[in-house]
A and B are shown apart, each in its own frame.
Chain A
Amino acid sequence: MHMWETIKGSFEYGHPGFTGLSALIKIVYLMLAFGPGLASILTWMERRQSSLMQDRLGPNRANIGRFKAWGITHFLADALKFMVKEDFVPVKAHKFLFALAPVLALAPALIVAAIIPFGAPLCWGHLTEIVPTGTCGQAVDLQIARLDVGILFYFAISSLSVYGATLAGWSSYNKWAMMGGLRASSQMMSYEVTMGMAVLSMFLIYGTLEPGAMVAQQGYWPWQWGIWGIPTALSFFLFLTAAIAETKRTPFDIPEGEPEIIGYFVEYSGLRFGMFFLGEFIEIVFSSALMVTIFLGGWHLPFLDGLADRVPNIAFVLITHGAWIVKVFLFTGFQLLIRWSLPRFRSDQLMQLGWQRLLPVSIANVLITAGWILYSR
């Protein structure tokens, strides 16, 4: 039967079913298991570790039977709470757009994971053999899509999350929500420009937009990573600042503003609010993953140098994947730390910082990098 042969053939390299099946497995793993999983752990860290840092206890009561584990099951409790809460839609709200806004906040955060490389290439058919780097004929990249336009895909999809905030504010039929939505979207638009300009100098240095090629150009040791060098370190800080502003985290979280000013999701309850909430944390995870890819060497770690020649391929792939997970986790922890330490910017300070301070610096950075490349090559 044609169907059975397609399924059997999907396990051979080169068969179109193989590409589809491997992509599907990668999508399910990265976008449905790893992303939301790490985001949920971060929600727990956000509340528990921040409270320990601020010398208070924080939520530590959630338990499954007698298993308390420092309140780590709070994220399950939160999820359950969001699902069973009453779904309240304001009477005059625009029903379609009210329902669409959380989707437009959550979906772009997940879709950008498609270009992120999360491990060394897997050599299909030679999994238990030792495969030195670059000698594999049947390489399966641990990257969902190897697009030529690479990082532009990230910018294109993350510019759609602006619609989530704007529509949420507008469709709630609430003046305060709408003003919050306009604040949020103007903030996101401003910092998108700086994000693009900051990464532009990295494109000049790498000569490519494709994240897999960027990781391949970086080496195992920290001085071979993307962050080494004056213009690149400046790009890193500019991009980090802009990404934190883009995800509306403190110190740029005026749009959320709880509890001083009303944000754009004031009329959302239950799972709809849960989608905004989870979407923000997933954005943190994948923007950290992107920064790790461009600036911090992707899945490279110093002690892995030469390891590809000594251990079987599957072990090497798992180790590099573990290294990537550790790096992303540390970086997300760093972003959470920033939230717990810094006070919030006022709206006008925020816009001034974006347009009058960061944007000229990032443009100057591009010029400096271009000049440096011209004279050194």
Chain B
Amino acid sequence: MHQLHTQTVGLPATITFAILAGLTVIGALFTITRRNPVVAVISLVGTFFALAGVYASLSAHFLAILQILVYAGAIMVLFIFVVMILNRDEITRVAARGMVRRGLGVVAAGYVVWLLASVVANSSATPLLGGPLSEPGADFGTVASVGASLFTDFMFPFEAVSLLLLVAVVGGLVVSRSEKQEDDAEETARRRAQVATEIRPESMVGGPTDATANHEAAHH
């Protein structure tokens, strides 16, 4: 494994990767360890920035810009909004109750990651994963090529994802309704169902007001 460093790749690329990877990991650690949620959100934004840099070094230009535009620019703003509405500092960073169980969970997760890393670092995988990379085509990872692939081979998943986003918007609205809004919505739906099924022509002798008075009286 010792042939995998600056001999296959130039020093500037190594330094760039080291800085970006370091920033990513530091940002991720800050995110999960800060007590103040706003600081955690900001460090996650920093992590996403560094990660966008890593994506750019992988020639994934479109994805790098999307990472900043969607993740850092939209999703994290949503998080910050919710943090400000809730606006509460956590009293204890990590609760003591059930600590042993959760600590063991973290150790188990670490073991799984260790297994994955050992599989990947296995000497038989080195030619595939450790060797130098071939130069990508001129339009690898550009907007045009990813877009072409998206709209031809992956048209159905694209449309499905747009439907999913619609479901998410409606679902978000419904789930976060206050009790008063839910009661109002229920009341309106009930009233509409009543009016649609129970109004009869003979009860409209005196005009619409007569009819509503009639069926209000009939149901109280």
Please list the residues of chain A having a beta carbon within 8 angstroms of any beta carbon in chain B: 94, 96-97, 100, 147-149, 152-153, 155-157, 159-160, 162-163, 166-167, 170-171, 178, 181-182, 185-186, 189, 209
CA distance A186 to B72 in the complex (A): 16
CA distance A320 to B38 in the complex (A): 46
Secondary structure call for the A interface: helix
Q: Which residues of B contact A155 (CB under 8 A)?
A: 69, 73
CA distance A258 to B84 in the complex (A): 24
Looking at chain B, what size class is its interface with the partner chain? 20 to 34
Q: Are B143 and A149 in contact (CB under 8 A)?
A: yes
Per-residue interface assignment for chain B, residues 112 to 130, with 1 indicating a CB less than 8 Å from any chain A CB and 0 otherwise: 0000000000000000000
Asked whether any CB of chain A lies closer than 8 Å to the CB of B51, the reply is no
Interface stretch among B74-82, B159-167, B173-181, B195-203? B74-82
Asked whether any CB of chain A lies closer than 8 Å to the CB of B14, the reply is no
Q: Which residue of B lies closest to A152 (CB)?
A: B65
25 A–B contacts from the bound complex (CB under 8 Å): A94-B39, A96-B39, A97-B38, A147-B61, A148-B61, A148-B142, A148-B143, A149-B61, A149-B62, A149-B65, A156-B69, A159-B69, A159-B74, A160-B68, A162-B73, A162-B77, A163-B77, A166-B77, A167-B38, A167-B42, A171-B38, A181-B84, A182-B84, A185-B81, A189-B74
Q: Are B73 and A159 in contact (CB under 8 A)?
A: yes
Q: Are A152 and B69 in contact (CB under 8 A)?
A: yes
Which among B66, B72, B81, B84 is the interface contact of A160 at CB below 8 angstroms?
A: B72
How many A-B pairs have beta carbons closer than 8 Å: the answer is 66
Q: Are B84 and A178 in contact (CB under 8 A)?
A: yes
Which among A157, A181, A182 is the interface contact of B68 at CB below 8 angstroms?
A: A157
Q: Which residue of B lies closest to A209 (CB)?
A: B143
Q: Are A94 and B36 in contact (CB under 8 A)?
A: yes
Q: Which residue of B lies closest to A16 (CB)?
A: B12
Asked whether any CB of chain A lies closer than 8 Å to the CB of B50, the reply is no
Contacts A159-B74, A159-B77, A170-B38 supplied; 13 other A-B pairs, CB < 8 Å:
A94-B36, A148-B62, A149-B61, A153-B65, A157-B68, A159-B69, A160-B68, A160-B72, A163-B80, A166-B84, A178-B84, A185-B80, A186-B81
